[in-house]
Structure 1
């Protein structure tokens, strides 16, 4: 009897266990979690990811001598013309992780889906923009195999030559822009243009114009063909159509967020930038800058001390560390280096400021150069030039009402600083420099391409190079993907700040 009872007990346990196990796999399934995502939302994530990271403040904006920090450590970069791979890696990591990974995945998912054809072309355009920034910053980069670790399990991508990358970027922009179908599906979830395909076409052609101008020194014949095609296709010529990433307190502008937090009192407008604007009596200086009169510390940089008055603004001289900046300020009659002018973090550099990718002002100025070179025949150089200056001055007011410049002030500036045909390229590209304020990658690229404005080498005594021509590869790439990195270095030149990219002649 005892054995029978034991058998019955064991059998009961087995039956109960079997009953529990029959539904056990269902208990491990999250029935509320998404198993797929609309590719339009992935494209939006990529667009948000194009916002320029803070590394562009440390390097790109510093290289073109607009904003600089006297501090070392994590802020070492263009202020000293020294290599700091914690900062040079930021564009690489942000763009590959947040942009390219998403765009490549979207393309692989929808390339054979006719109903999402417009989304496919939009994605190709955003991807071309991101790859242009990456190759302009570093030169040789993973292009064909870049960003497909997830979709194709290529974890050690080969690097491609910049000349080949540009050829494909131009092909992608040309094909994708032409393939946008105005009668096709409208992707209303798109956060850049709300699915407005006419604006997307202008964006694609604007990038094509930019890419064509990059080739002006290395292949002017090809450059002319590309620029003509872009101009004929129609580029962004209105501030209402500017390509920009919108920001809010939940998704703050990376540079604005930095300048309104830990580094609020550590970055200053440079003497070359402030002096240029003051020499021209440029109303943009008051729209961009603030000086905290008499400030002797960061906490003393209060709104009550702030002034926009152009005559008060003094830029920080290049080549100073934290100690020598004190002497430089004293020599200029300032209370401390905290009294140097700054980009106003409550206006243009606020954390909700948009991140401009391509603007009407930049396009007008590129068209002015193209017209000067005889590559296009519409309008006059002067008309394009004046429109470019005007568009940027008007653009400032779209960021913050307190930075608005009156039409009369714009007219007065253009009358006092007229276009001069004898110095056309210098004048156009110096205005491009001003127009690209806070757009570090584009200001850095066009400065190298055009050679303007004329900037003196950073005089810091411990500098590693006279001029910074590219950013260095991330240490993570060097340690993990060393074979391909070394092949790129062998073809391109040393992995340092002085090596030039292909189109920089």
Structure 2
């Protein structure tokens, strides 16, 4: 009897302990903490983080001679034909792999086998393809097939794919994803790019396909033509209502706008080639874009009262000047100091809440103009696409700020005075593409290398013995960041051995 009682007490004690442990376990579970993020949030985070970083202004925008600074140190880059790698501002590589590709990869993993989220899966495929296109255009060979798999698959040292292998995969990915999008599936209204609008996402995808096809114009004309034809058949962005752009506000500020309204407000200037192009053709976009703080002798002199948007007063900073030489250049131009040169208007065009345009009707119409001129498509005329591209870009100015709007009269007068002219079609089309891509550094840089236009004079800084960029040439790519060289050493060295020396002057595959 005593044994039975003891056994009963033991069983009872175990039951009580188990119950207590279960209670403690329940207490330790945070029922309000999510175990996984909704893929829509991951895609949105990726979109927002794609806004071009400050490093794009230092390199891309400087390489194509739209904005430069005479200052060195952390701002050294295209202005000095100098490779600055990481320094203090985050390179595009780090910004995109850590804050964009990581999120898109996670979103794809969570939606790939979920039929109810098919549209989200394919929207993410399209956006990820856009980002990979930027990365490979900037650097050449990059991690692609293994990129983003660090957390899920423990691929901590991804291999580099060849650019000539990446482009066909991007073309296939865009084609398949656009085809798979369906209005019969779940409409993902939470996405910040198009609020789940299937028609707009399809146009975005096919516009990227058009862009990818045109990239191949030098290296593989046949593939370029077939890709362009497929894109046009699918339907591309030809109206500003369908533009792909990132919206910013006080919580999600525009990176370049934040910099130009902060510590570097007095350090970046519109260039002489860019201002002269607009000024010499009476382009109304100059008044929309530029401001000059007349008589400014320092940054403190750049006051609202001193600011003028009068096109006739705009003067661009010469290329290839530093702090030791820019003062003499300013004096020669009749200015009080280099602070007196024209800038992009930070109170209109590059506010902290300014939009960042990724793919626009202006760009797409201009690519269609070139495709039609080459005979790759038969619809429309090159002249009409050309005019439509200019019109779309001028109308787009109002989306930055009401005070940057170009009037219909000024727009139409310019278009009439600057028709597409026989014998100079490619130069005209791609010069307009350069203007239409202002502030979209990666795209302006890529199309400049592809087309060779506008006609620019190579930056003379440090010549004739510049170690990074041979005399009389341009920067052709960005170099791999220090983090890759020091951590993913074997794979990056394999890519360098295959692609060519890791220098600013090395040409990527489609730029040969």
TM-score (ref. length: structure 2): 0.94
- The aligned residue for residue 65 of structure 1 is 65
What's the counterpart of residue 228 of structure 1?
229
Give secondary structure in 2 for the equivalent of 1:156: coil
The separation in 1 between residues aligned to 2:114 and 2:146, in whole angstroms, is: 23
CA distance in 1, matches of 2:187, 2:18: 52
Report what 1:86 is aligned to.
86
Find the counterpart in structure 1 of residue 39 from structure 2: 39
- Equivalent in the alignment of 1:178: 179
In the alignment, the residues of structure 1 paired with residue 117 and residue 369 of structure 2 have an alpha-carbon distance, to the nearest angstrom, of: 37
Return the offset for 1:187. 0.4
Matches within 5 A, 1:210-249: 210-249=211-250
- In the alignment, the residues of structure 2 paired with residue 340 and residue 20 of structure 1 have an alpha-carbon distance, to the nearest angstrom, of 75
**2-structure distance, mates of 1:479, 1:89:** 17
Offset of residue 31 of structure 1: 2.9
CA RMSD of aligned residues (A): 1.7
Identify the residue that residue 3 of structure 2 maps to in structure 1.
Answer: none
Q: CA offset at residue 17 of structure 1?
A: 10
Cα distance in 2 for residues equivalent to 1:113 and 1:421: 53
The answer for the alignment partner of 1:484 in structure 2 is: 491
Please state how far the C-alpha of 1:29 moved relative to its aligned partner.
3.4
Give the secondary-structure state (helix, strand or coil) at the position aligned to 1:291. strand
Post-superposition offset of 1:259? 0.4
Per-residue deviation, residues 330-385 of structure 1 (Å, max 9, x unmatched): 11110110000000001111111111000000000000000000000111110000
Kept in 1: contact 2:53–2:90 (CA 8 A): no
Pairwise CA distance, 1:315 = 0.3
* Matches of 2:462 and 2:245, distance apart in 1: 38
Paired residue for 1:340? 341
Secondary structure at 1:421 match in 2: coil
Residues in 2 aligned to 1:323 and 1:29: alpha-carbon distance in whole angstroms? 63
Q: Secondary structure of the residue that 1:503 maps to in structure 2? A: helix
Structure 2 Cα separation of the partners of residues 421 and 344 of structure 1: 35
Structure 2 residue matching 1:290: 3-state secondary structure: strand
Deviations 1:33-76 (A, max 9, x none): 21121111111111111111111000000000000010000000
Q: Which moved more, 1:106-115 or 1:87-96?
A: 87-96
In structure 2, the residue matched to 1:275 is 276
- Which residue of 2 is the match for residue 474 of structure 1? 481
Instruction: Give 2:251's aligned residue.
Output: 250
CA–CA distance in 2 between the matches of 1:487 and 1:89? 24
Give 4+ residue runs of structure 1 displaced > 6 Å after superposition: 16-22
Report if the CA contact (8 A) 1:277-1:285 is conserved: yes
Aligned length: 492
Match of 2:439 in 1: 438
2:390 paired with 1:389:
yes
Structure 2 CA distance, aligned partners of 1:78 and 1:26? Answer: 58
Measure how far apart 1:467 and its partner are.
Answer: 1.3
| Whole-angstrom CA distance in 2 between matches of 1:22 and 1:96 | 42
Matches within 5 A, 1:62-141: 62-86=62-86, 90-141=91-142
Residue by residue, what CA displacement relative to the aligned partner does 1:403-459 show, whole Å, maximum 9, x if unpaired? 111111011112222211210000000000000000000000000000001111101
SS in 2 for 1:244: strand
User: Deviation digits for residues 202-224 of structure 1, max 9, x if unmatched?
Assistant: 00000000000000010000100
Residue 428 of structure 1 aligns with which residue? 429
Cα shift at 1:124: 0.2
Structure 1 residue 18: Cα displacement = 9.7
Gaps of 5+ in 1: 1-15
Give CA deviations for 1:165-203 in whole Å, capped at 9, x if unaligned.
001000000000011012211001011111110000000
Q: Which residue of 1 aligns with 2:510?
A: 503
Compared CA separation, residues 145 and 89, structure 1 to 2 (3 A): farther
Q: What are the superposed Cα offsets for residues 195-254 of structure 1, whole Å, 9 maximum, x if unpaired?
A: 110000000000000000000010000100000110111101111110001000110111
Q: Which residue of 1 aligns with 2:328?
A: 327
Structure 2 CA distance, aligned partners of 1:211 and 1:234? 15
**Which residue in 2 is equivalent to 1:452?**
453
Counterparts in 2 of 1:351-362, with a 5 A limit?
A: 351-362=352-363
Where does residue 30 of structure 1 map in the other structure? 30
- The alpha-carbon deviation at position 461 of structure 1 amounts to 2.2
Question: How far 1:97 sits from its partner (Å)?
Answer: 1.1
Aligned partners of 2:351, 2:324: CA distance in 1, in Å? Answer: 28
Please name the residue that 2:501 is paired with.
494
Check conservation: 1:74, 1:86, Cα contact below 8 A.
no
CA distance, structure 1, for counterparts of residue 154 and residue 25 of structure 2: 28
Which residue number corresponds to residue 164 of structure 1? 165
